[in-house]
Chain A
Amino acid sequence: MSTQKLAMVIDSAKCIDCKGCMASCKQANNVSRGVWRNWIKEAVPPVVDGLDGAKKLGHGHFQPGACMHCDEPTCIQACPTGATYKNAADGTVVIDPKLCIGCGNCIKACPYGARFRDPVKRIADKCNYCPERRAAGLAPACVDTCPTKARVFGDINDPSSEAAKLLAANQGKVVRVVAKNKDTKPNMYYIASTAPDGWTVQPVDPTSFDFLAGVVAPAVKLAVGLSGLGVLAMLGRQLFAGAGTHGPDNSHGPDNSRGPDNSHETDSKPNTEKKEEDGHA
């Protein structure tokens, strides 16, 4: 069924952390103040030897990111209403705003922190690869605007796409950032290497779904989910959630680059790993 696999192929070594992608996304998608559909993370630079035994900082690295539109996403199972689903046509993970009740389960279920509750719209939101722009024949806003063209977007099932070509040209040198306990098969590919890693969080499945996960057919799961009292509770949670209650989930603020001291990338117990990819294109 799936004819396309839309993906982002990123050469993070080219990223200068200018925030062009974040500004462009926010403007294109009318994302509320304080929350972001995409981000740039900064690796903690190594300390190297300087003059007379002094230490100085070594090479730095920035890592652009956003929803990875995983092949095995943890967010879909967590959604009690079916608002989040995988688009069979192009492989993107889609949120139907009409079905989303803003319960926040998907936000906790995403190990990459890619989702947040929009404080104004009060529903879950994340990167959607700009479908309106694609319909107009344009690249997603972040890709179009990128000064160094670190972000490349396309259908990696189409060997003639720029993204597929880039993957093919870098066979054996492509990595993904994945959650350690659950390889969600992200469709965000980093060329050669990337940093930081270890920044993902443990995906949290809503308890009520744990026993169902992977056992019951999706349609049944949806019905059970909707019949439970859980839905009422979730609706209540949405109604009482005030503006700005995106909470700790969307931690990719622009402040990530303010310095190594307040960055979140120093986790000594990484729960993610970089997966070496080979010959996937």
Chain B
Amino acid sequence: MNDNSTRQISRRDFLRLAGTAATAVAATAVTAATAPEAKAAPAVQAPKWESKYSVCDMCFNRCGLIARVERGVITKLDPNPKFTKSRGMLCARGNAGVAQVYDPDRLKTPLLRVGARGEGKWKAISWDEALELAATKMKDIGEKYTRCGMLFSAGADMQSGFVNRFAEAFGSFNVTSHESLCLLSGNRAFLDTFGDVPLPDVKNSKYVILAGANRLEALVTPDSMDLISIMKEGAKVVVLDPRYTKSAALASEWHPIRPGTDMAFMLALANVIITEKLYDAKYMAERTSGLDKLADHVADMTPEWAEKETGIPAADIRRMARDLAAAAPSSMVYPGRRTSDYENSTQIRRSFAIVNALLGNYDRPGGLVPARPAGLKKVPGEPPWYDDNPPGRVDAKSVPLLFDEEGSFVLTREAVIKGAPYPIKGWFVYKTNPMATAPERAKTREMIDKLDFMIVVDITMSDTAWMADLVLPAPSAMERTDPVQALQSGAEGACLVWRDAVIPPLYQSRPVFDILKILAGKLGLGEFFDFDIESYRLKQLAAFPEAAEIIKRDGVFYPPNPPLGGTDGAAFKTPSQKIELFCSRYAEMGLDPLPVYTPPKPSPDTARKFRLVVGRSACITQASSTNNALLSEFEPENMLWLNDEAAKELGVKQGDVVQVESPVGKGELKALVTPKIRRDTVYMLSGFGSISGGLSHTKGVGASIVELMETRYDSICGNSAIHETFLSVKKKGAA
């Protein structure tokens, strides 16, 4: 970190000198204007801006930034060079944060629905009226259906913790986040193997396999930048993806794997590492359990077997296994982030975890490292006990290993529709958008139709807000004071950030914290919100008396980071206290204790030939940024990536409008005819085909992924499974 800041300062000093020199020359050379080919330009003044630290809100990465404010208006967002997790960068989305603040589509006042649900007829009401109504409805629902009759859903936001705190105080177990539509399968798998969810230390790695992680487009800091750095230093990065993504283009090696066969690849890696004894036998004996059972399990899963499943040549699989092992422990199978792919995604990711275990890379540089200590204190509150509440979440016991604090959105939705095991009639939503991110939009709509009252707090009229009874305008992140958040950065340690408002809230917007505090007061729960954010932050930072001043000075604080290897000799938090190659808990629960490969199911309908895969680009984060004026210049619509040979058979040409159909929905969008995708697969960018009349760039533009996706979920943890849908594709107007 010292190195980085020194370099930054010296570079800035140089530039400052350069600017001075230019000014001096200009002052003596103004008369050169008659010679147009070389004259001195007039001196340029530095902008009269104030520079204020904040934290980006355009995705979950939370990159440190510096806002340039001129006469009360944010004119530019720049990276904070002291925020090393992002390697001193701000991506296109971060830069477009200004367009988000000044988006003409922003919500400006509380709005009450006056037409039919989803019709888009609203009446502006006062905050007093809005909050009184919200409190009354929540109280009524709590009394009539128990407190668990209210569902709370909050997105990845620095104030989302307050929504969970409110739900707890209010007395509802029913809380969902975006995570059960995203990353829970991966977390489940690594937790059940290692006893924690380790982080990749890409920066020090010599060999990385990215299976289905498009990390050079779906940016994760610092991993995305570090992948480029390590390749410059000679490290190998292998990408497995049915699509020629930018990650595939720039990787050392790309294999267009058959979708749904990653587990076969991983088990073959295990086969080679075990049969050729490429592992550290002492480490495996001391730190892992179940090697013999794993060896038996993968005995027949040779690279030749895996070649038939994956389409990746056996020789390449064998070579990769040997190279991975040779580079161990500074090598890894990258765990990935979004793992909401298949109904057996937890087991697929278990196979990723097992290969990592065979590499002995846990808590080693260049391997997988346990989350670094952040030292943030919880601000306690003792929620009341409500005797009449049901015993648990509405989606409890629907799958064997639900994350109790996250739940499963698709299974909760199912329960709301059925009204069983008990009714849910109210929904409080903060900055998350299931109408655009949860598979099978029609079902989300069906769920909403079962509700008595739905409140959405957001910056703009999302598709989910469009369905609400009451919509409350939130300020953008640049207008907010936010609590401290800890961010992880591989082996480099955690860092702590907060937000202070860069500009005052625009329009009548109010932070969700204020909304919840007022509602808590009205509902007799004021004691759970008897603080302001400034005092809350000091409580969070109780372990670091110096941190507040440092965050004000630098925009970030780095707590002490103990060296790697600190877990050596300590028990893993698993039943066997070892890394569980063979998962004893799964065995007890009747689940496969070792990941059993089953080939991906073919399409049940010959008319639907193409497996739909989805993703995002470096310019958008799902539906939360596609409506941005600047980003819409890069991604104005989504197109269907269609293999060029498949397109020829269908008579589809570049840019033709195609009709796509799944068993649950339809869509129309332009075709991108390309050799960059397998013949059996089509791809769509998320975040388009919106229905909200409040989204001027995306309403009806392109097609919605969630309109098409069928409702499938991970059978172990209930995470959605969004690569299980097959589409038919035809040119619009063709028979």
Contact = CB atoms under 8 A, between A and B. Distances in A.
A141 B76 contact: yes
Interface in A207-252: 218-219, 222
Nearest to A76: B37
B277 interface: no
Contacts of B5: none
A87 B216 CA distance: 38
Interface string A39-59: 000000101001100001101
Contacts of A260: 674-676
A171 interface: no
Interface stretch (A20-28, A102-110, A112-120, A272-280): A20-28
A90 B11 CA distance: 18
Interface in B558-584: none
A219 B34 contact: yes
B40 A138 contact: no
A183 interface: no
B46 A261 contact: no
A28 B39 contact: no
Contact of B618 (A16, A24, A47, A139): A16
Given A3-B25, A262-B654, A60 B249 contact: yes
A167 to B, nearest CB: 15
A134 B15 contact: yes
A89 interface: yes
B25 A147 contact: no
B543 interface: no
A88 B676 contact: no
B699 interface: no
B674 A34 contact: no
Interface in A126-141: 131-139, 141
A88 B39 contact: yes
- Give the interface SS of chain B, mostly helix, strand, loop or mixed: mixed
A19 B45 contact: no
Chain B CB count within 10 A is highest, among A57, A89, A148, for: A89
A18 interface: yes
B244 interface: yes
Contacts of B94: 20, 145
Nearest to B44: A131
B79 A145 contact: yes
A2 B29 CA distance: 11
A281 interface: no
B249 A59 contact: yes
Interface in B659-698: 672-676
A94 interface: yes
A155 B655 CA distance: 44
A88 B246 CA distance: 40
A173 interface: no
B630 A27 contact: yes
Contact of B22 (A1, A4, A158, A262): A4
Chain A CB count within 10 A is highest, among B34, B46, B93, for: B46
B11 A162 contact: yes
Contacts of B219: 18, 147
A206 interface: no
B733 interface: no
A89 B22 contact: yes
B676 A85 contact: no
B256 A50 contact: yes
Nearest to A221: B36
A145 B11 contact: no
B71 interface: no
A134 B673 CA distance: 43
Contacts of B40: 87-89
A51 B306 CA distance: 13
A132 B244 contact: no
B38 interface: yes
Interface in A169-219: 218-219
A79 interface: yes
Nearest to B81: A144
Interface in B296-329: 307, 311-313
A146 interface: yes
Contacts of A28: 76
B246 to A, nearest CB: 6
A218 B90 contact: no
B227 to A, nearest CB: 9
Contacts of B313: 51
Interface in B224-282: 224-225, 228-229, 232, 244, 246, 248-250, 254, 256
Chain B CB count within 10 A is highest, among A26, A62, A87, for: A87
B537 to A, nearest CB: 28
A155 B16 CA distance: 12
Contacts of B734: none
A135 B19 contact: yes
B19 A16 contact: no
Interface string B614-653: 0000110000000001110110000100001000000000
B408 to A, nearest CB: 33
B223 to A, nearest CB: 11
Chain A CB count within 10 A is highest, among B12, B41, B75, B89, for: B41
B285 interface: no
A57 B21 contact: no
B35 interface: yes
A19 B14 contact: no
Contacts of A154: 14-15, 18
A259 to B, nearest CB: 4
Interface string A1-35: 11110100000011011111011101110000110
A85 B40 CA distance: 9
Contacts of B22: 4, 89-90, 131, 134-135
A161 B7 CA distance: 12
Contacts of A162: 11, 14
Contacts of B619: 18-19, 23
B424 interface: no
Interface in B79-125: 79, 86-96, 98-99
A203 B675 CA distance: 33
A101 B205 CA distance: 55
B213 to A, nearest CB: 14
B29 A259 contact: no
A142 to B, nearest CB: 10
B647 to A, nearest CB: 10
Nearest to A145: B90
A162 B225 CA distance: 20
A28 B95 CA distance: 9
Interface string A60-92: 111000000000000010010010111111101
B11 A19 contact: no
A226 B552 CA distance: 56
B681 to A, nearest CB: 14
A261 B39 CA distance: 44
B244 A19 contact: no
A137 B15 contact: yes
B37 A139 contact: no
B256 A88 contact: no
B46 A79 contact: no
Contacts of B133: none
Given A23-B96, A131-B22, 10 more contacts: A3-B21, A4-B18, A23-B95, A27-B95, A57-B676, A86-B37, A88-B39, A139-B15, A145-B79, A162-B11
What are the 9 A-B residue pairs with the smallest beta carbon separation, nearest first? A60-B249, A82-B36, A137-B16, A136-B46, A18-B618, A23-B92, A131-B44, A89-B25, A147-B89
21 contacts: A3-B25, A18-B619, A20-B92, A23-B96, A24-B78, A24-B92, A27-B77, A57-B248, A85-B38, A86-B39, A88-B25, A90-B18, A134-B15, A137-B19, A145-B89, A145-B90, A147-B86, A147-B219, A162-B14, A219-B34, A259-B674
Interface of B: 11-16, 18-19, 21-23, 25-26, 29, 32-41, 43-47, 49, 75-79, 86-96, 98-99, 216-217, 219, 224-225, 228-229, 232, 244, 246, 248-250, 254, 256, 307, 311-313, 618-619, 629-631, 633-634, 639, 644, 654-655, 672-676
